[in-house]
Amino acid sequence: MGECAGMTGDNTELQRQREWLLSRYGVVPSEADHATLLRMIEDYLNEGLETQVEPFPETDREFSGILDELRALDPDDLRAKLDISGWLLRPYGADEMRCQECMYYLVHRRWCDLPELSLPAEPEWWCRLWRI
């Protein structure tokens, strides 16, 4: 597995992903605007990307472990970022947790301000890095 490719495979796989994103959206995630990033996220998840919603990090150590995985990713590896963070386009769990109640969510910008994610998000979405 390539150092920058994270969970999606080697550098060849990451390059294929970049080429696919460029052909579909005209930009890679690190250069995309808010609306394009939202569309990329929605498309990945609506087209079948399954993410790691479990295990939910119960301790600071588990939370930090997920952050470490995210930090190791290439900035354009959006697919792995969504997978590792457990991103969903709907509330999660019996308590219907969602971005809107997360301490990292910037409501007026519709943005997750957790530095390791730093992605646009809708209020009803969720990821396993959710915190109150």
CA distance 23 to 54: 32
pLDDT at 9: 52
56-77: pLDDT as tens digits: 999 999 999 999 999 999 999 9
Q: What is the pTM of this model?
A: 0.89
Share of the chain above pLDDT 90, in %: 91
Q: Residue 109 CA to chain centroid, in angstroms? A: 17
Q: Residue 64 CA to chain centroid, in angstroms? A: 16
Q: Residue 104 CA to chain centroid, in angstroms? A: 13
pLDDT at 11: 85
13-72: pLDDT as tens digits: 999 999 999 999 999 999 999 999 999 999 999 999 999 999 999 999 999 999 999 999
CA distance 60 to 115: 16
The count of other CB atoms within 10 Å of the CB of residue 102 is 21
CA distance 99 to 42: 15
